Structure formats: C-alpha cells, structure tokens
Amino acid sequence: MLTPVRRVPLPDAGAFVVYQTDCGAPCGYGILVRQERSLIPGILLVRDVYSQDGAEDACIEITGSDGATIENEAVRLRRWVYW
C-alpha cells in the first residue's frame, strides 16, 4: 500500500511525491519517491526515483532545473517522465 506523505513541486512542472510504503506483516515500512506529471486530468506520468526500507520521510533538495538530491543521492529530472 502507498500512502502519500508530501509533495515537492518541481521547477518546470510536476512534483516529487513521497509515499510511505507498507507491504504488510512480512516487512516493515519504507518510503518511495516518484516524479509525477499530469498528462491530462486524471492521467499521471510516473517515474520511481528513490526508495528506502525502514525510512519515514526523505530529504529532497532541488539543485537546478534539471537536478535534485534525495538523501544525498543525485537525481536527474526529466521534463517528460518515463515509466
């Protein structure tokens, strides 16, 4: 199950969305960060960019129009999101 925690708007459109993950009894909580962009109302283009088991949130810093760091890992932003 994915539960949205927060959104971080991106400079050119879209956002990073931090989700808390929960796969049930066999494993613990974690986080997943996705780059999301609305194509048309109700349709999202989505790309997973970061995940971490046992975490509750992620530190995200936008470093420019085409880059960011998530928990000190560089992430290249894409104008169009690929899945």
Measured distance CA(42)–CA(52) in Å, rounded: 28
Q: What is the pLDDT of residues 57-78, one digit of tens each?
A: 999 999 988 899 999 999 988 7
For the CA atoms of 23, 43, 36, 33, the dihedral, rounded to the nearest 10 degrees, stands at 0
Measured distance CA(6)–CA(59) in Å, rounded: 11
Whether the predicted pLDDT of 2 surpasses 80? yes
Instruction: Name the pTM for this structure.
Output: 0.85
Domain that holds residue 24: 2-76
Q: What are phi and psi of 55, to 5 degrees?
A: -100, 155
The number of folded domains in the chain is 1
Question: Residue 81: inside a domain, yes or no?
Answer: no
Q: Which helix (H) or strand (E) holds 13?
A: none
Mean pLDDT confidence for 5-30: 87
Q: What is the pLDDT of residue 25?
A: 72
Q: What is the pLDDT of residue 51?
A: 94
Count CB neighbours of 14 within 10 A. 23
Question: Residue 60: inside a domain, yes or no?
Answer: yes
